Amino acid sequence: MRRAGWLALGVFVVTVPWLLSAAVPRQQRYILHVLIFTAIFAALALSYDLVVGHVGSLSLAHPAFFGIGAYTAAILATRAEWPFLAGVLGAVIAAALVAAMVGVPLFRLAEHAFAVGTLGLALVTSVVANNWVEVTRGPLCVTGIPKPRLGPLAITTLPAFYWLALAALVAVALFYRGLTTFRLGRAFHAVRDNEPLAGAAGVDPLKYRLLAFTLAAAIAGGIGALYAHYLSVMCPEEMTVSLTVNLLVIVFLGGVGSLRGVLLGAVLFTALPEVLRLAPTWRLVIYGGLLLLVVIRSPGGLESLLRRTAGAR
Amino acid sequence: MGAISGPPCDPDLILDIFEQLLHGVTLGAMYAMVAAGLALMLGVARLINFAHGEFFMLGAYAFWFGYSELGLPYPLAALLAPAVMVLFGIAYQRTVIRAILPRSWHVQLIATLATSIVMTNLAIIVFGTQPKEVPTALSSRVLDVGGFRMVWQRLLVLAASLLIFWGLNRFVARTRTGRAMRAMSQNREACAVVGVDVQRTAMITFALSAALAAAAAALVSPLFNIFPDMGTTLTLKAFAAVVAGGFGYVNGAIAASFLIGLTEALAGSYVSYAYKDAIAFLIMIAVLLWRPQGLFGRRIGI
């Protein structure tokens, strides 16, 4: 039954472009665009949840790694004319390297100080993106990033990009599950739930935190590369604090540390504002208010709601 | 005579350095008033208020409203800002802080961050993104002492902030409430047991912190522009000062703020203006690598 349900969902998600062109041909492009954004944000939120939900370190630096990946891929593709996959690999490596390097001093900071240190990193990265004009072109943005090519396959149409984004999301989700389920996942949770006990049991908290932080940054870098190739423009505004707020909203409303919750959160909070067509300022006011309400009233998010209804049945 | 006026003893350079030092002290005083409030909240309530920069921002708009819209004279408008923010600080403590105080620091951080986002964007909606300029009589008058030119408002910032820090130290050291605050920073439960009114002390701490941020805003607003998202970077710099000065140690935070302000002014002028906002973090990271307990750090406590 469960398997059949997943299969039906999978078939539905994959066939969406055809269903859309049959049902609402005029809206197909717009809806696909929203869905591509949803998939990208869902994958990004999953990578963020690896750090926030599974090792319990409240990092606010995720936009930095997303941006580093996006800029690396954008610059490699436009200046050095690297092929798409090589550029994505370069983005993943660049983001992971920066994360590993800054992670060592940042994890010397405890709790709040870690959060502020990472927020500082995000701020510094966006200052660099704005001012290192020779490389990033600053506020003029890196433009003309080519559409992705996978060998002989050129991803030029929206449906093709939708499937690519979907494949990326599935890959990230599988990686997320693999990483958080087995022995490694148990080590992550041990570090999150009781750091001294984990340390005493031979699970080095610093090592596992750093590992989760670096892997999450690597994924964020890859997603950033995908994002840059999709928009074909990369600007410093793409990596501001408001991205952190979006990620926090998705993760905390959906349910910290839960694959299903985070996916649900991403669908709700990427698609919903588009449907409601809110102005960005009002959107942030509502997001902020909602975030405040949820962390105070129901810290488990939608996932705990789902569990409660499942338990009641 | 002309031969010796090389760069090392160029009188223009000396005047320029002096000007930058004065600018750095002004910045330092501003950061210090914000950081002192942040350190007080951290000490007394064990809470990082991510919305603290927004207290400053709102205080600045309160000052602008009093001075430019209501046409109040400068001293009255400068007092209006702290008065408004005291009420705001109390309301904030009563609603948001009370709900999150017993919760984990994750929840506290996200809740105060969410408050800051709401405040910033509401300010954009209400006041617009166009920066507001509030020049006063003192911000355009210059004192000239043998070529060293000083804007009166900067001297006022310096004098008023020193007075405020002196008063703050007296208050924390000498008064009953101040003693209660210090006691709470050491052991909250024990305070409740021996009959310290914990809720009232927390409320006064928040009111005081908000007033400090608003006073800073009223003092420096005639020199700098007022805009809705100026709070975020300010919170971060003030927090960098709190961390570098020793977690929750008020005078350490004040000293570190001046260090950050001076470094920022000098580096912004002689190294790179674009990267001046990164300086506070480089200082914080450097201090933490060298002395993880902060420059003046001991245990937590104000």
| pLDDT band at residue B205 under the 50/70/90 scheme | very high
Interface test with A, best of B46, B113, B115, B287 (most A CBs within 10 A): B113
- C-alpha pair distances (Å), B144 with each of A268, B19, B156: 62, 12, 15
H helix runs in B128-197, sequence order:
137-140, 152-174, 176-186, 188-193
Which of the two residues, A271 and B27, has the higher pLDDT score?
Answer: B27
From chain B, pick out residues whose CB is under 8 angstroms from the CB of A115.
48, 109
ipTM metric: 0.78
Q: Quick one: pLDDT at residue B5?
A: 46
> What average pLDDT does this structure show over B157-185?
91
- Chain B residue with CA closest to A57: the answer is B106
Residue A58 and residue B109: Cβ atoms within 8 Å?
Answer: yes
Residue B219: closest CA among B54, B24, B26: B26
Q: Which two tokens stand for residue A75?
A: 């610059």
From chain B, pick out residues whose CB is under 8 angstroms from the CB of A130.
274
A73-87, A147-161, A227-241, B203-217: range with highest mean pLDDT: B203-217
Interface test with A, best of B38, B118, B288, B293 (most A CBs within 10 A): B118
The share of chain A scoring above pLDDT 90, in percent, equals 17
Model pLDDT for residues B180-196, shown as the tens digit of each residue = 888 888 888 888 888 88
Q: Give, for A150, the enclosing helix (H) or strand (E).
A: strand A149-150
Which of the two residues, A25 and B8, has the higher pLDDT score?
Answer: A25
Question: On the CB side of B277, how many CA atoms lie within 13 Å of its CA?
Answer: 19
* Number of Cβ pairs < 8 A linking chain A and chain B: 108
Q: Quick one: pLDDT at residue B3?
A: 47
**Which residues make beta-bridge pairs with B144?**
B149
| pLDDT band at residue B1 under the 50/70/90 scheme | very low
Model pLDDT for residues A133-145, shown as the tens digit of each residue = 777 887 778 887 8
> What average pLDDT does this structure show over A29-57?
87
Residue A127 and residue B288: Cβ atoms within 8 Å?
Answer: no
Mean pLDDT over all residues of chain A? Answer: 83
B187: three-class secondary structure by DSSP = coil
Torsional sign, CA B292, B294, B299, B302: negative
Q: Quick one: pLDDT at residue A47?
A: 92
Do the Cβ atoms of A87 and A225 come closer than 8 Å? yes
Whether B273 has its CB under 8 Å from any CB of chain A: the answer is no
Amino acid, single-letter form, for residue A49: D
Residue A122: closest CA among A247, A210, A38: A247
Q: Quick one: pLDDT at residue A1?
A: 55
From chain B, pick out residues whose CB is under 8 angstroms from the CB of A295.
100, 107, 110-111, 114
Q: Quick one: pLDDT at residue A311?
A: 67
Residue A248 and residue B113: Cβ atoms within 8 Å?
Answer: yes
Model pLDDT for residues A184-228, shown as the tens digit of each residue = 888 888 778 877 887 777 778 888 888 999 999 999 999 999 999
Residue B115 and residue A288: Cβ atoms within 8 Å?
Answer: yes
Torsional sign, CA B156, B158, B164, B170: negative
> What average pLDDT does this structure show over B130-141?
84
Question: On the CB side of B249, how many CA atoms lie within 13 Å of its CA?
Answer: 17
> pTM for this structure?
0.83
Q: Quick one: pLDDT at residue A141?
A: 82
Do the Cβ atoms of A159 and A17 come closer than 8 Å? yes
Residue A288 and residue B292: Cβ atoms within 8 Å?
Answer: no
Do the Cβ atoms of B250 and B43 come closer than 8 Å? yes
| pLDDT band at residue A279 under the 50/70/90 scheme | confident
Q: Is the predicted pLDDT of residue B299 greater than 70, yes or no?
A: no
Instruction: Out of A113, A130, A296, name the one closest to residue B99 (CB).
Output: A296
Q: Is the predicted pLDDT of residue B300 greater than 70, yes or no?
A: no
